Amino acid sequence: MRRSAPIISGGRIVLAFAAALAASPLAWASGRAGSAPPPRQGAGDARLSLRSPGLASGDAIPLSDVYDRYGCHGGNTSPALLWSHPPAGTRSFALLMYDSDAPGGWWHWALFDIPAGVSSLPAGAGDPARHLLPAGSIQLRNDFGSLGYGGPCPPPGPPHHYHLTLYALRLAKLGLDAGANPAQVAARARAAALAQAQIVGLYGR
Residue 112 pairs in a beta bridge with 138
CB 197 within 8 A of CB 48: yes
Three-state SS across the chain? CCCCCCCCCHHHHHHHHHHHHHHHHHHHHHCCCCCCCCCCCCCCCCCCEEEECCECCCCECCHHHCCCCCCCCCCCCCCCEEEECCCCCCCEEEEEEEECCCCCCEEEEEEEEEECCCCEECCCCCCHHHCCCCCCCEECECCCCCECCCCCCCCCCCCEEEEEEEEEECCCCCCCCCCCCHHHHHHHHHHHEEEEEEEEEEECC
Q: Report, as an integer, the average pLDDT of 50-63.
A: 96
* Distance, CA of 138 to CA of 80 (rounded, Å): 17
pLDDT in tens, 135-144: 999 999 999 9
pLDDT in tens, 87-119: 999 999 999 999 999 999 999 999 999 999 999
* Distance, CA of 3 to CA of 47 (rounded, Å): 54
pLDDT band at 198 (very low <50, low <70, confident <90, very high): very high
Whether this model's pTM surpasses 0.75: yes
pLDDT band at 45 (very low <50, low <70, confident <90, very high): low
Rg (CA), the chain: 22
Percent of the chain with pLDDT over 70: 78
- The architecture in CATH of the region 41-203 reads Alpha-Beta Complex (3.90)
Residue 107 pairs in a beta bridge with 98
Per-residue pLDDT at 13 exceeds 60: no
